[in-house]
Amino acid sequence: MNSIKFIFLVFVLSYLFSCSERCPSVRDFNVGEILLISAESKSYSYCDLLENSVEKDHDAILKISLLEFDGSVGYDHGYVLVKLIDTIGENEYIKATQNISNKEKGLIKDYLDAGLEYGNIKKFQKQSLEKVFPCVYNFLSK
């Protein structure tokens, strides 16, 4: 019986460790493996973009915000964008994306809506983009 508990514990710890090592310098972000693979197929290092974005690099914020993903990968990306804005602040995010087109604003808004709805961030559950990030909402709605 003890060996089963030990094996289970090793399995759980291995899983937790491997999840946190996907983007080690931004451990607060739960970046899914499929998101990393999809970004890599577009010749982007998602972890590098995210790490630089957290450091408030405007070029990285703009690039990560405008990446396009289909299906469930888009939901994962939306979660990351919500978490990014929460980390760097609305004003910094708006400064980095201030020169985007209306089409690009719509893309980001769709990702943020998906990230808020499906991202499972407790403090934002069942809240709209307008309520969570009012400045970003107003910027994207112009």
Q: Which value, to the nearest 10 degrees, does the dihedral of the CA atoms of residues 119, 120, 121, 126 take?
A: 90
**pTM for this model (two decimals):** 0.83
Each of the 142 residues of the chain gets a pLDDT tens digit; together they read 555 544 443 343 334 444 445 788 788 888 999 999 999 999 999 999 999 999 999 999 999 999 999 989 999 999 999 999 999 999 999 999 999 999 999 999 999 999 999 988 889 988 999 999 999 999 999 8
121: three-class secondary structure by DSSP: coil
Tokens 């994962």 locate to: 76
**Any residues with CB less than 8 A from the CB of 47 and at least 6 apart, and which?**
22, 23, 25, 26, 31, 36
Predicted local distance difference test score (pLDDT) of residue 125: 86
Predicted local distance difference test score (pLDDT) of residue 16: 40
> Is 62 in contact with 96 (CB distance < 8 Å)?
yes
CA distances from 13 to 8, 10, 18, 49 (A): 9, 5, 8, 27
